Amino acid sequence: MILIILQRETIITKYKQSERTMKMKRLRFSGNGIVALIATAIMLISSLQLQAQTPTEWKKLKGDVTLYMANDLGRNGYYDQKPIAELMGNMAKTTGMECVLAVGDIHHFNGVASVNDPLWTTNFEQVYSHPELMLDWFPVLGNHEYRGNTQAVLDYGKVSRRWMMPARYYTKVFESKGTTLRIVFLDTTPLIDRYRENSEKYPDACKQDYQAQLDWLDRTLKTANEDWVIVVGHHPIYAETSKAEYERTDMQKKLLPILHKYNNVAIYACGHIHNFQHIRMNGDNIDYVVNSSASLARPVKKTVGTVFCSPADGFSIISANKKQLRMSMIDKEGNVIHSIEKNK
């Protein structure tokens, strides 16, 4: 009898222990379930944020002055060039785009031979055919243009009404609703010694008087009193890249003393590297921006001064009002992946 009672008590005890264990497991499962639900919600929110943004979101990119910047384009519409061109056209309907800054390497790989070169059709006219891209295009020469006939790039304005290139280097002031934005366009290939020294591959580079350009830049910045000043050129001053270091050191040596001289340059923006980079150096008020290729991008990693970098291809939108200058990096899905903001 005693044995039976003891066995019964043992069974009851084990049952209660088992019941407590099951409750604990249910509680742990419930806790894990809540964590899992929260994690899923966060992922869903993140995925929604990463989806292509809508015209409603794009409207927020509009300023008093709103410009496109695109570079490293010419792939005859292949890779992502044509889809990105169509995206630019669709976004322009919403943002009220004023023009396109075409910052070099419009033509890969050996530039153009003349204003009648078929590459003008396959690299430019047929690709950027969206009605909203029938804007003024303000180009600069890239290193690939220097492999061909650079004068033909300047002269193409006689063929195409939207091609606005008055000189190898020039400046343009955009004004709207009381906001003024000066863009200074540089011809950077002659500023790099190795290009000038290689007359077989870059026949026109050695013919340019780069000191005359630097003197002009100094005079231009000295008198620049607009709300905002941006300097653009094809080659970077700072960037993470496998390209030869002498390119950046030549640019730094020749340009930085002038860009810093009058303390009025907000951004130096370039292409050439085929990815997005935003670099800010200690003690330097200028933001250095590498705009990605609008056709074919390359990997990138952080370097000294990196604020942001991405291997995405795409383009940028520059918008300005009296109090704020913003440069937004746009990927091929239409997402703003990073913005550089300067405030007054």
Judge whether residue 20 has pLDDT over 70.
no
Residues 258-274 have a mean pLDDT of 98
User: 294, 313 in Cβ contact below 8 A?
Assistant: yes
Helix (H) or strand (E) holding 198: none
pLDDT in tens, 247-257: 999 999 999 99
pLDDT in tens, 95-118: 999 999 999 999 989 999 999 999
What is the edge-to-edge ordering of all strands in the sheet holding 65-70? Answer: 136-140, 99-103, 65-70, 314-320, 324-331, 336-343
Separation of alpha carbons 309 and 155, rounded Å: 36
Give the residue ranges of DSSP H helices in the chain: 2-50, 55-58, 81-95, 119, 150-155, 193-197, 210-222, 245-261
Instruction: Tell me what the pLDDT averaged over the chain comes to.
Output: 89
Give the three-class secondary structure for 5. Answer: helix
User: 268, 231 in Cβ contact below 8 A?
Assistant: yes
Among left, alpha and beta (phi > 0; psi -120 to 50; other), residue 52 is: beta
Q: What is the pLDDT of residue 55?
A: 85
Residues 259-273 have a mean pLDDT of 98
Separation of alpha carbons 95 and 227, rounded Å: 21
Q: What is the pLDDT of residue 56?
A: 86
Helix (H) or strand (E) holding 183: strand 179-185
Residues 89-98 have a mean pLDDT of 95
User: 274, 297 in Cβ contact below 8 A?
Assistant: yes
Question: Which one, of 223, 334, 244, 229, lies nearest residue 287 by Cα?
Answer: 229
Which two tokens mark 13?
């005890």
Judge whether residue 282 has pLDDT over 50.
yes
CA distances (Å), 112 to each of 122, 145, 148, 290, in order?
A: 12, 7, 5, 25
Work out whether strand 314-320 and strand 170-176 pair parallel, antiparallel, or are unpaired.
unpaired
Separation of alpha carbons 342 and 4, rounded Å: 85
Confidence category of residue 342, pLDDT binned at 50, 70, 90: very high
Residues 307-335 have a mean pLDDT of 98
Judge whether residue 53 has pLDDT over 90.
no
Residues 180-205 have a mean pLDDT of 98
How many CB atoms neighbour CB 119 within 10 A? 18
DSSP conformational letter for 203: T
